[in-house]
Structure 1
Amino acid sequence: MLGAIIGDIVGSVYEWNNIKTKDFPLFRDDCFFTDDTVMTIATADALLKGGQPDDFIDSYKKWGRHYPDAGYGSRFGRWIFSDDRGPYNSWGNGSAMRISPCAWLMDCGFCARTGMWPSNGRERAKLSAEVTHSHPEGIKGALAVTDAIFMCRFYAGGYGDDMGNPIKERLNLEQYKIQIREHIESEYGYDLSKSLDEIRPTYRFNESCQDTVPQAITAFLESTDFEDAIRNAISLGGDSDTLAAITGSIAEAAYGVPDWIKDRAMDYLDSPLREVCERWTEQL
């Protein structure tokens, strides 16, 4: 989930002050964590407690109330502070930006051995979305990001080298990006045909999964490393922190995170948030 946290922090200062360039300081003194970080960490906390629907509900309400000014959407904010434990049919991008811990539960080795996708992380991802974002688009966005992260882990880790690859050579970055693109388009119907240069001029703030997730995945697909992926996402404008959180969560799985970026990002978190990050890392 570190990639999501970094993307959120970097994008925090551009959400309401969009820039359409990749040329900007990665970290500024006025950067801060937002609801994207809080809810991503809340997802990890829920998984550490069992990952059942009540765990997600309890965790989202607990962490949301602990950080009441983190910048939640209006409907989610009302849900956090209410006694209501049911979903509210949201199709917002919040289900996708918080989902990354679920994808790290999926067993790459199982997939390599059996040729079947491991279900545990995807099931948890669906549960995580459904407790609030029960609209089909809200669930679809969360699952698409989960799949993209898992596929990056699978191919970047070398697990897919012998699967559907008769010459038995290590798949390179661009080859597994093609497979990710094809899977997301066929499985979820997202249009990933437009380049960042085609998206950027007209892209505006949008809180929906259907107009955030495809753009975030494209920002990863056109990237050359972790930092470049974050810069791609920010350069689109729009809901910058959430776009970069989603892109960063995928890019982490593909490239890893440079130590200096990790260390710098952790400086923005307080003790309760860092403590969950440490427990989650130990669990993995």
Structure 2
Amino acid sequence: MFGAIAGDVIGSVFERNNVKSKSFPLFDAASRVTDDTVLTVAVARALLSGEAPGRAMRELHGLYPGAGFGPTFRAWIDGGDDAPAPRSSSNGAAMRISPVAWAFDTLDEVLAAAERFTVVTHDHPDGVKGAQAVAAAVFLARQGATKGEIRFYVESNFGYDLSVPLDLVRPGYAFDLSCAGTVPHAVRAFLEAEDCEDALRNAISIGGDSDTLACIAGAIAEAHFGGVPEHIAGPVWQRLDAPLREVTLRFCGQHGIRMPWLR
């Protein structure tokens, strides 16, 4: 979960200013949390409290209305509590879903919860597929699955092609908000990585929706590599305010997610 937040913060300055390289500073003065973090924390809060996910998302949107929410999500917010779920296939559900992978003990439970937390705002098969693929990858990673096993499961069960090297994707990749155009590349960024930082650099180097790509890749990498390294986690933690820290700390503590930078 914290790997998702780290990817969002580091990727935030590159979303509209793509770097197309793995050589870039991890942080600068403009690095910040965006809607990716806000909604990831909303999912975590709903899992902790048992409240409806839509309620948690609405309340946190109210606290951070300028975090960069997309137009479809904002229209859902403006529609009020009884607004129907948009039939969206965007990457917004996949970016926020990682807490689900830590909150349940079986893959079947994770997949069911991923769907339940997705259809609130992304009631489209492609939106559900993308969120389930990410949740499954994080769950398998935290269970000790190898990269090969994660790749096989995602390709076999969700039909994503994870075979294309990032070096071939990067030159022509443009901004793509769809799950289909985001999730496979984010997972591939993890698969090519040597460590958590490398996964984030891989994802951001693709270009496009950099913070979301890094959010997804970071979530999987955290689970696989055993946490977010302190030189990344510390500066990210400093960029969270008290409400975001409080939920993150409770969720990570409850589910055994390592936070050694707070010792």
TM-score by length of 1: 0.87
**Amino acid of the residue matched to residue 20 of structure 1?**
K
**Amino acid of the residue matched to residue 100 of structure 2?**
C
Match of 1:271 among 224, 232, 242: 242
2:107/2:139 contact within 8 Å kept: no
- Please say if 1:193 is aligned against 2:190: no
Deviation at 1:184, TM superposition (A): 0.8
Which residue is 2:57 aligned to?
A: 60
**Amino acid of the residue matched to residue 89 of structure 2?**
W
Q: How does 1:69-108 map to 2 (within 5 A)?
A: 69-83=66-80, 84-107=82-105
1:234/1:240 contact within 8 Å kept: yes
1:61/1:81 contact within 8 Å kept: no
Extract unaligned runs of 5+ from structure 1: 108-116, 157-175
Alpha-carbon RMSD = 1.1
- Separation in structure 2 between the aligned mates of residue 226 and residue 56 of structure 1, nearest angstrom: 28
1:125-156 CA-partner distances (Å, limit 9, x unpaired)? 11110111010000000000011001111116
Deviation at 1:28, TM superposition (A): 1.1
Question: What is the count of residue pairs matched by the alignment?
Answer: 253
Q: How does 1:19-168 map to 2 (within 5 A)?
A: 19-50=19-50, 55-83=52-80, 84-107=82-105, 117-155=106-144
Percent of aligned pairs sharing the same letter: 51
Deviation at 1:124, TM superposition (A): 1.5
Which residue is 2:204 aligned to?
A: 234
| Structure 1 stretches of 4+ moved >2 Å | 117-122
2:6/2:215 contact within 8 Å kept: yes
Deviation at 1:214, TM superposition (A): 0.2
**Amino acid of the residue matched to residue 183 of structure 1?**
Y
Q: Which has the higher helix share?
A: 2
SS at 2:13's partner residue?
coil
**Amino acid of the residue matched to residue 104 of structure 2?**
M
2:7/2:212 contact within 8 Å kept: yes
TM-score by length of 2: 0.94
- Separation in structure 2 between the aligned mates of residue 250 and residue 282 of structure 1, nearest angstrom: 18
1:11-56 CA-partner distances (Å, limit 9, x unpaired)? 00000000110000111111111000000000000111226xxx10
SS at 2:180's partner residue?
coil
